[in-house]
């Protein structure tokens, strides 16, 4: 509300008519980004793997994280997930310093390597999805009807309800990915982090998977960060990209990224051709790390 002359104030007083300039209504502070990295660095011992990373992800964004093999994408995700601690810089999650952020269920994670389940692994799809829900409840509350309903809704959202009683190890990789997304949905995660979710699935499944993610982002406001190597797929489905090569070398519109010459030098010849089909000449591949 904008205060104007004569606007009743607290206690019914009136603003003095002659002297009062309009008092601007206090603006609500902008919502904190879900992820905020400032000057983040990391190394596994020797060489730095990440350096000087400044990256924010606002609520509602759908961000594609790109970069060649070994550029630090999975490591960056591990830092956001609290699985690795940066050697430099600061990390804030949901507006709080990462060390003080305890509500881990607010972040759902679909890791890069999933298919480690034995076919006889003793958990059904519904049980795996339920784990996400129950992690949120904590150890002292027993799941009730509302929790079971949340699991069913999550399974339905990823079209996995018919598989609810299948053992998790008896699913295809693409189906396992969906089960893990359902697990995040059941826990009501607000940020979903996926590390190369479609690396092992066929083109039709990949397309369907992106449609699923787009729907979750658009209709439920789920914030998504996804590592992907298929640049064309990212450009077609994702509003914003972050490109890593030890440093963050680009953040913004994927079309803009494709137009500029950032790819020159960080990806190999084949990838450059894929992304720049209209470019008449082919850039020679450069050594990794040659990018600005
Ligand atoms: N546990 C580890 N111990 C030592 N070095 C590691 C470890 N994990 C990753 N690295 C190294 O850190 C660098 C970045 O690895 P990371 O897995 O983050 O890359 P990435 O961008 O996810 O690659 P990819 O596209 O192949 O998945 C690589 O040089 C890798 O060899
Ligand atoms: Mg990786």
Asked if residue 258 and residue 177 are part of one domain, the reply reads: no
Across-strand partners of 65?
227, 242
> What is the structure's pLDDT at 169?
87
- Torsion angle defined by CA atoms of residues 273, 277, 278 and 282, in that order, rounded to the nearest 10 degrees: 10
pLDDT of residue 17: 52
Which of 189, 222, 251 is the last residue before a domain boundary? 189
Full residue range of the structural domain in which residue 165 is found: 113-189
Cα–Cα distance, 170 to 176 (Å, whole number)? 9
Q: Which ligand is nearest to the CA of 47?
A: 1
- In the chain, how many domains are there? 2
- Return the pLDDT at 280: 28
**Is 250 found in the same domain as 121?**
no
- What is the model's pLDDT at position 90? 96
* pLDDT given at position 262: 55
Q: Are residues 212 and 225 in the same domain?
A: yes
Closest residue by CA, ligand 1 atom 26: 69
> Does a structural domain hold residue 20?
no
Residues with CB under 6 A from ligand 1: 44, 49, 67, 69-75
Residue 177, φ and ψ in degrees, nearest 5: -60, -45
- Give the count of alpha carbons within 13 A of 233, CB side only: 24
- Please tell me whether residues 84 and 227 are part of one structural domain: yes
Same domain, 146 and 242: no
pLDDT in tens, the chain (292 residues): 344 444 444 444 454 555 667 777 777 777 899 999 999 999 998 789 999 999 999 999 999 999 999 999 999 999 999 889 999 999 999 999 998 998 888 999 888 766 566 666 788 999 999 988 887 777 677 778 888 999 999 999 888 999 999 998 888 888 888 898 899 888 889 999 999 887 777 788 788 889 889 999 999 899 999 999 888 888 899 999 999 999 999 999 988 887 765 555 555 444 433 333 332 222 333 333 333 3
Domain's final residue, options 146, 166, 189:
189
User: Same domain, yes or no, for 179 and 212?
Assistant: no
Alpha carbon of 109 to ligand 2 centroid (Å): 13
pLDDT score at 190: 95
pLDDT score of 19 = 63
Count of Cβ atoms closer than 10 Å to residue 235 Cβ: 16
Alpha helices in 23-72 (DSSP H): none
Residue tagged 């009743």 (tokens): 8
Report how far ligand 2's centroid is from the alpha carbon of 271 (Å): 17
Distance 88 CA to ligand 2 centre (A): 21
Residue 238 and residue 166 share a domain: no
pLDDT on residue 286: 37
**pLDDT for 187:** 87
* Choice from 40, 43, 44 to test ligand 1 binding pocket (greatest atom count within 8 A of CB): 44
Look up the CATH number of the domain holding residue 49: 3.40.50.300
- Residue with CA nearest ligand 1 atom 28: 70
């Amino acid at each position: 509300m904008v205060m104007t002359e004569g606007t009743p104030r607290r206690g019914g007083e009136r603003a003095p008519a002659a002297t009062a300039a309009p008092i601007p209504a206090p603006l609500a502070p902008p919502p904190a980004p879900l992820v905020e990295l400032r000057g983040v660095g990391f190394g596994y011992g020797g060489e730095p793997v990440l350096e000087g990373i400044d990256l924010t992800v606002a609520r509602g964004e759908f961000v594609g994280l790109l970069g060649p093999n070994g550029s630090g994408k999975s490591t960056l995700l591990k830092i956001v997930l609290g699985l690795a601690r940066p050697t430099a810089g600061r990390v804030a999650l949901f507006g709080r310093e990462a060390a003080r952020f305890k509500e881990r269920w607010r972040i759902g994670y679909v890791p890069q390597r999933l298919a480690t389940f034995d076919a006889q692994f003793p958990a059904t799809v519904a049980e795996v999805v339920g784990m996400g829900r129950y992690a949120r409840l904590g150890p002292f509350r027993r799941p009730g009807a509302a929790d079971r309903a949340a699991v069913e809704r999550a399974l339905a959202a990823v079209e996995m309800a018919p598989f609810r009683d299948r053992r998790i190890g008896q699913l295809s990789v693409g189906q396992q990915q969906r089960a893990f997304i359902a697990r995040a949905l059941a826990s009501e995660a607000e940020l979903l982090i996926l590390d190369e979710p479609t690396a092992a699935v066929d083109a039709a499944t990949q397309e369907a998977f992106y449609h699923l993610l787009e729907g979750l982002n658009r209709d439920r406001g789920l914030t998504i960060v996804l590592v992907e190597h298929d640049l064309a797929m990212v450009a077609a489905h994702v509003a914003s990209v972050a490109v890593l090569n030890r440093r963050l070398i680009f953040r913004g519109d994927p079309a803009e990224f494709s137009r500029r010459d950032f790819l020159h030098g960080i990806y190999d010849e084949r990838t450059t051709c894929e992304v720049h089909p209209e470019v008449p000449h082919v850039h020679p591949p450069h050594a990794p790390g040659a990018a600005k």
